[in-house]
Amino acid sequence: MSVNKEVKRVTTNTLQKMKAAGEKISMLTAYDFSFARIIDGAGIDVILVGDSASNVIAGHETTLPITLDQMIYHASSVIRGVERCLVVVDLPFGSYQSNSDIALASAIRIMKETGAHSVKMEGGAEVIDSIRKIVSAGIPVMGHLGLIPQSIYKFGTYAVRAKEEVEADKLKKDAQLLQDAGCFAIVLEKIPAGLAKEVSLSLTIPTIGIGAGGDCDGQVLVMHDMLGINTEFKPRFLRQYLNVYDQATLAVQQYVKDVKSKDFPNESEQY
Ligand code: KIV
């Protein structure tokens, strides 16, 4: 998509100012050009090219299988559909956990090959050296704490995280570490609302919640869940705004009927 000079782009500074002004940040996932165009045009502040593509696009059970090359494909498709919003791309599992040189190389590939504006990484103290190195290279990093799906086999469940004091204390320390390392925002996933509020108030950078209550500085949902494309996933925190699954099913059923009955195409639908 060509650059429209009239459009005021959302940057990491914009998000910082929004937090300071008490304006909530809206964020949704997208994985392709067409949906990115709809979401950006509708006025979203941030698009996350999430590794949830592994679930909702590729049909895997977890986010672990998606590769860096596949994330680059999704992110470069999204970027072509975006004029205004900030685009954040998940570094996928295996592309940053081994050491900070590999992490930096992965982040550089995302920035160079997709044109995206920033990367997201899961974890706190465990990945802090890599975050520092990536930020030092001039790449904005969004952190991600609480339920971190790339560690699902460590947790063993997608249940609410940090309900106990020890885990809540670690999360608070990690949030401070991420801010000190230069992260521009932090996703807080599936943690008690009270803890998310405390963390949000303690930080100068914005928090973006998913299943973390209304006191985060912004909210994120997976597009396929909120549009009802994927109807099996119905956690308590999800608000479903459409039922695309049912509507698309009806449309396809009608098309099959029209073809079988020779109603489609009619005279005005042919040359
Ligand atoms: O991959 C993703 O969609 C995410 C969101 C759930 C925050 O990380």
End-to-end alpha carbon distance in the chain: 32
Q: Is the pLDDT of residue 231 over 90?
A: no
Q: 5: pLDDT confidence band, cut at 50, 70 and 90?
A: low
Peptide bond into 140 cis (omega under 30): no
Q: Where are the alpha helices (DSSP H) in the chain?
A: 12-21, 33-41, 53-56, 68-79, 100-114, 128-136, 152-155, 165-181, 193-202, 223-226, 244-260
Q: Which of 52, 54, 91, 191 to mutate to test the pocket of ligand 1 (most atoms within 8 A of CB)?
A: 52
Q: Which of 93, 210, 229, 238 to mutate to test the pocket of ligand 1 (most atoms within 8 A of CB)?
A: 210
Ligand 1 centroid–CA 50 distance in Å is 5
Residue ranges per domain, the chain?
A: 12-240, 244-271
- Ligand 1 environment, Cβ below 6 A: 29, 48, 50-52, 90, 187, 189, 210, 220, 222
Share of the chain above pLDDT 90, in %: 96
Cα separation, 206 vs 83, whole angstroms = 23
Ligand 1 centroid–CA 51 distance in Å is 6
Predicted confidence (pLDDT) per residue in 10-65, tens digit: 999 999 999 999 999 999 999 999 999 999 999 999 999 999 999 999 999 999 99
**Residue pair 76/34 in contact by the 8 Å Cβ criterion:** no
Ligand 1 centroid–CA 52 distance in Å is 6
Mean pLDDT for 61-81 is 98
Mean pLDDT for 225-249 is 95
**Residue pair 230/224 in contact by the 8 Å Cβ criterion:** yes
Largest CA distance in the chain: 70
Residues recognised as catalytic: 189
Mean pLDDT for 186-200 is 98
Place of tokens 């994985």: 31
Nearest CA to ligand 1 atom 4: 50
Q: 3: pLDDT confidence band, cut at 50, 70 and 90?
A: low
Predicted confidence (pLDDT) per residue in 94-122, tens digit: 999 999 999 999 999 999 999 999 999 99
| Sequence-ordered list of residues with C-beta below 8 angstroms from that of 252, at least 6 positions apart, any chain | none
Pick among 3.40.640.10, 3.40.190.170, 3.20.20.60, 3.90.920.20: CATH of 12-240: 3.20.20.60
Q: Is the pLDDT of residue 1 over 60?
A: no
Report which residue type is found at 176.
Q
Ligand 1 centroid–CA 77 distance in Å is 18
